[in-house]
Amino acid sequence: MHTHTLRTKYTFGDRVRFNSHTQGIEGTGKIFAITVDSEGQIDYIVDIGRGEYSELQNGIYEDEIISLV
């Protein structure tokens, strides 16, 4: 079994605002997941609350996010 440790600017549950030119979307939500690819690129999946249900937006990069804390 492998153990990986990485430092990210945001963590699970952080409330954030994002404006993603790569995904063509902007909004607010909570960090739901953090993805790291084989090249070491980090991106986030943001849970966007939509009333009675949630929508997950993937592929949001750190430089497209600001904290709402």
Dump pLDDT digits (tens) for 5-34.
Answer: 889 999 999 999 999 998 999 999 999 999
Cβ–Cβ < 8 Å for 46, 66: no
Residue 69 is predicted with a pLDDT of 83
Residue 20 is predicted with a pLDDT of 96
Q: Please name which of 69, 21, 19 lies closest in space to residue 46, comparing C-alpha atoms.
A: 19
Cβ–Cβ < 8 Å for 15, 30: yes
The structure's pTM equals 0.88
Decide if pLDDT at 49 tops 90.
no
Decide if pLDDT at 44 tops 90.
yes
Beta partners for residue 57, in sequence order: 46
Q: What percent of the chain has pLDDT over 90?
A: 80
